[in-house]
Structure 1
Amino acid sequence: MDQSDDLRLQQMSDYRRIEKAMVFMAGSASRQPTLDEISAHVHLSPFHFQRVFCRWSGTTPKRFLQAITLERGKRLLREDKALLEVSHDVGLSGSSRLHDHFVQLEAVTPGEFRNGGEGLCIEYGFHQTPLGQMFVAITPRGICRMGFIDHTNAGAALKELRRAWPKSTLISSEMATRHVIDVLFRDRPGRPTGPLSLHVTGTNFQVAVWRALLRIPPGRLASYSLIAAALGRPGSSRAVGNAVGANPVALLIPCHRVIQQSGALGGYRWGTAKKQMVQTWEQLRSEFL
């Protein structure tokens, strides 16, 4: 094993500790665990844990813990504003510009859907991140799948990809998918030099909802009913929720930014604890932009 392999293994170990610490803080936020408690939970000294956490998450454990609260989610919904004004504030109306400027969504055509990906090469990889292990799959036109996985559902991610693109050729290549992770989890938040493209399949309504999600700025939240109204479909909150739940690309199509009208977290394909972690991570990163 050479030095680069040793470094890669150390990074994976650090990522797992950060994820474990974030899960612990999210579950214990009501009692505000101390740095000593959190570091002991991941079997590191407080000094070493503080350094590792800051290096890979871009913030301190204390700051992360402070940000974990549902009150943050209620902030927008408590504002005494008209629906259209709030909708404009979160970018759901009045602008067609995508929030991050670098995410371009391209939907699969009906013909491509019928072909089932025939003649298409899809490369996929599994990557450790500060938010947990992720599965990424890309076509020559963009990212077609991305989601959180663990030891229980890694195989399911591949099966789901195969169901969506039954006639495609799947190739394992972490080198090909690494760029996506590097863009999302770079040490200092910033814009990449080129756009990240999404190549997704869905109904017209699902794609419309996903485009609406792309217009919610980082660190902001919107309710299912707000999105339904902004799409000209008031009363279709349940349908919006189903479309949000069918999102095939975690993080880049930000379904984690959608919460219930009451301010409660609502559901999340990868679990509510993960949703809270992602919201907090994104809010803290957006403070640097």
Structure 2
Amino acid sequence: MLTSSNTTATRAAPSPVDDYARIEEAIAFLRARRGDQPGLQELADHLRLSATHTQRLFSRWAGISPKRFVQYLTVEHAKRRMAETGDLLSLAHDSGLSGPGRLHDLFVNLEAMSPGEYRRAAQDVAVAYGVAPTPFGMALVAYTSRGICHLSFRGVEPDTPLRAQLTASWPAAALSRDDAAAAELLAQVFGQCAPPPGGLSLWVSGTNFQVQVWRALLRVPRGGLLSYRQLAHLVGQPRAARAVGTAMARNPIACLIPCHRVLRESGEFGTYHWGSERKMALCAWEAAARDAAAGTAPSAEEIAAG
């Protein structure tokens, strides 16, 4: 039952994690009812909110209306963005540039080790880590003096502790926990505060092909989408779409190495290590941010109108 306005006024503001849980629930509902195209009131009823509070939820979380959010999740939008991104990257390649203009993107530096170097370095490396809320739920970020080495969410196995994912990758490292420092770092990752002047550094280990795929992903701009085939072309291996998918599955750093921006050729979002709903949420959130940066985001009046 809806509470009175006085009670609502004294209630604490929803946390980012609470908002994301509702967004994920909304995506799951919209996926299940895709053929019906449920309206705002049906979505609000499913979320156990009023239509007004549902509007506020999406506006608070992504700056858009539920209607615009649903548009970002359509196959038609995905196909259009894949075509646009492919053309943009092809133009950058033909011009001899490393990637398209990234004025509104977070600058990321990637340093890679071979598996042999990793085994030697991991013997006595100090890894600090922490868990903190983000716009996409609780996340764990880990870092060394050379850069971020791990970023993960609770995925398809939500009962697996986040630290277990880290220790599987760094079994011999000396781990120390600092949630406050992690919260500050994650705020930089998700644009809630300014990153360092030189951008964020990543420190990863992978085969030459895996690193090649990860570097190619860094060229895909925020709000951009690619198919597996397009990504294979981007790394110079046009027949290696399946191998590209395998390399993406080995990605140790969610979001910053943006494997969520790669979709099926059909425009379907497909699977994601940290959950299909999270992949869709990431893509819609980034599409909204891209449109806001380009000046094409809806006005407050348009959001209120749905």
TM-score of the pair, normalised by structure 1 = 0.82
Where does residue 267 of structure 1 map in the other structure? 271
Q: Distance in 1 between matches of 2:212 and 2:83?
A: 26
CA–CA distance in 2 between the matches of 1:158 and 1:110? 22
Compute the displacement of 1:205 (Å). 0.9
The answer to whether structure 1 residue 219 and structure 2 residue 223 are counterparts is yes
Aligned length: 279
CA distance in 2, matches of 1:115, 1:33: 55
Structure 2 gap segments, 5+ residues each: 1-10, 294-306
Amino acid at match of 2:98: S
Q: State the one-letter code of the partner of 1:207.
A: V
Percent identity, please: 41
- 1:74 aligns with 79
Aligned to 2:46: 41
Give secondary structure in 2 for the equivalent of 1:250.
Answer: coil
The answer (yes or no) to whether the contact 1:124–1:172 under 8 Å persists in 2 is yes
Number of the residue aligned with 1:131: 136
The secondary structure found in structure 2 opposite 1:122 is: strand
Q: Which residue of 2 aligns with 1:231?
A: 235
Match of 1:88 among 87, 90, 102: 90
Q: What are the superposed Cα offsets for residues 42-88 of structure 1, whole Å, 9 maximum, x if unpaired?
A: 33322233223312222222211222111222225568x9x8x5642
SS at match of 1:64: helix
Local SS of the residue matching 1:234? coil
Match of 1:53 in 2: 58
After TM superposition, the score normalised by the length of structure 2 is 0.78
Report how far residue 168 of structure 1 moved.
0.7
Corresponding residue to 1:240 among 244, 247, 259: 244
Mapped contact 2:24–2:277 kept (Cα < 8 A): no
Q: Please tell me the root mean square deviation across aligned C-alpha atoms, in Å.
A: 3.1
* Cα contact 1:116–1:164 (8 A) shared by 2: no
Aligned to 1:155, what secondary structure does the other structure show?
coil
Aligned CA distance change for structure 1 residues 24 and 148 (closer, same or farther; 3 Å): farther
**By how many angstroms is 1:203 displaced?**
0.9
Write the mapping of 1:77-156 to structure 2, written as runs, cut at 5 A. 87-89=89-91, 94-97=96-99, 99=102, 100=105, 102-108=107-113, 112-115=117-120, 117-149=122-154, 152-153=157-158, 155=160
Alpha carbons of 1:101 and 1:148: their partners in 2 closer, same or farther (altered >3 Å)? Answer: closer
Contact 1:123 1:176 in 2 (8 A): no
Residue-by-residue CA offset, 1:216-272 (whole Å, 9 max, x unaligned): 112222222222223222322221111112111111111111123343334322233
CA contact (8 A) 1:26 1:276 kept: no
Distance 1:223 1:16, change over 3 A: closer
Tell me, yes or no, if the aligned pair for 1:128 and 1:134 is still in contact at 8 Å: yes
